[in-house]
Structure 1
């Protein structure tokens, strides 16, 4: 379960944190009902999980848009693992994700049913509308404190060294895209044990994430997440 927490948090840092109004974000479209399917495979190309995202609600006030995204995560056999939702805020300059909202709804309910208390804190992850090769992006982090049966466990995930590496054309099962490639390092600390996992994100205008790869510290591939369906 501990490994699932880490994978989920890292995934939420990458997979569409959509936007809303026209021109609110250059990279993430938002219309209620817009849906995305992402399939994750291991280093051998075997399916590990599938995540379905949908823009379920959009609200606007002044120059700010708040969007609710629902997520259904299933394992390689198609069995649902987690169903939850989270909110993001979008302004004319880009998007910001509130980490306080990443573990809401059914996920928190499951923890309470197991007599587990969860507290989540962190800093927003930002993605500006204007990207350029060589650009450095702000770091982000999330801390999750879990209390159960008198025991406490802290998980920290820091997203550091974020930068726009290059532009690249890629083709996936869902189509061909021109993408910015964003590199970052995901540093996880669980019960005092620290590990660093570099990653790359392929981001295209009008859709968002097309592909994401995670690596070991030595550069060996761990997993790949690819956009397999997109409906707007």
Structure 2
């Protein structure tokens, strides 16, 4: 199950806040019961699995809104993993609380370990414009497994910028999007990789499409919005 920890963190950054729109969020519908389904494909276009999100526990105070994103990852073999994280909208900026990624279910995998979680919240402002640079984000997890054995995981998103505007059609419909480029760096034990990616965002819906590439710029995988309701 520990492999799902890195998978959740990578999905968290790669999807660049695939959440929902409220009065303080231009791009994301923070509405109780809103659901999103993304289908993932490999570099050859073969379906690999799905990620389902649901917005829950929405509360507001003034121009601040908070909610929980419930997430289920399912692969083609029928394996599933459930997680959740907290989202806050304050004024005109949406933030994901990185510490909430390490919820009770995920932490139960490390009952006999000393775990330290640090990082920065991922931010996305409402006023996106072509050429705009966006703040980096990261999550670092350090685990002491007893004796001299330690295991560290780190996932960060860097070089985030708004590249262009583009219209995209998926099974969920046709959307006018802004395209955000970023690089996701992940480190776990002896594994170290950097994956450039692009995310297509539509106002009132969130992420419509995401593509990941290798260092040479070749497509390695993608996800598209296949169902959406609010």
Length-normalised TM-score, structure 2: 0.91
Residue of structure 2 equivalent to 1:154: 152
Structure 1 residues without counterparts, runs of 5 or longer: none
Alignment pair present for 1:204 and 2:202 = yes
Asked if structure 1 preserves the Cα contact closer than 8 Å seen for 2:20 and 2:205, the reply is no
Give per-residue Cα distances to partners, 1:90-115, cap 9 Å, x unaligned.
Answer: 11212011100012132222443xx3
Q: Distance in 2 between matches of 1:190 and 1:75?
A: 21
Provide the aligned C-alpha RMSD in A.
Answer: 1.9
Q: Distance in 2 between matches of 1:19 and 1:47?
A: 25
Asked if structure 2 preserves the Cα contact closer than 8 Å seen for 1:35 and 1:53, the reply is yes
How many pairs were matched up? 228
Secondary structure of 1:108's counterpart equals: helix
C-alpha change, 1:178 and 1:17, in structure 2 (3 Å) is closer
**What is the CA-CA distance between 1:140 and the residue it aligns to?**
1.0
Structure 2 residues without counterparts, runs of 5 or longer: none
Q: Distance in 1 between matches of 2:91 and 2:183?
A: 27
**What is the CA-CA distance between 1:117 and the residue it aligns to?**
4.7
Segment drifting more, 87-96 vs 124-133: 87-96
Question: Greater relative contact order (Cα 8 A, min sep 6): structure 1 or 2?
Answer: 2
Alignment pair present for 1:99 and 2:98 = yes
Q: Distance in 2 between matches of 1:19 and 1:176?
A: 17
Asked if structure 2 preserves the Cα contact closer than 8 Å seen for 1:71 and 1:85, the reply is yes
C-alpha change, 1:9 and 1:222, in structure 2 (3 Å) is same
Q: Distance in 2 between matches of 1:92 and 1:204?
A: 19
**What is the CA-CA distance between 1:66 and the residue it aligns to?**
1.3
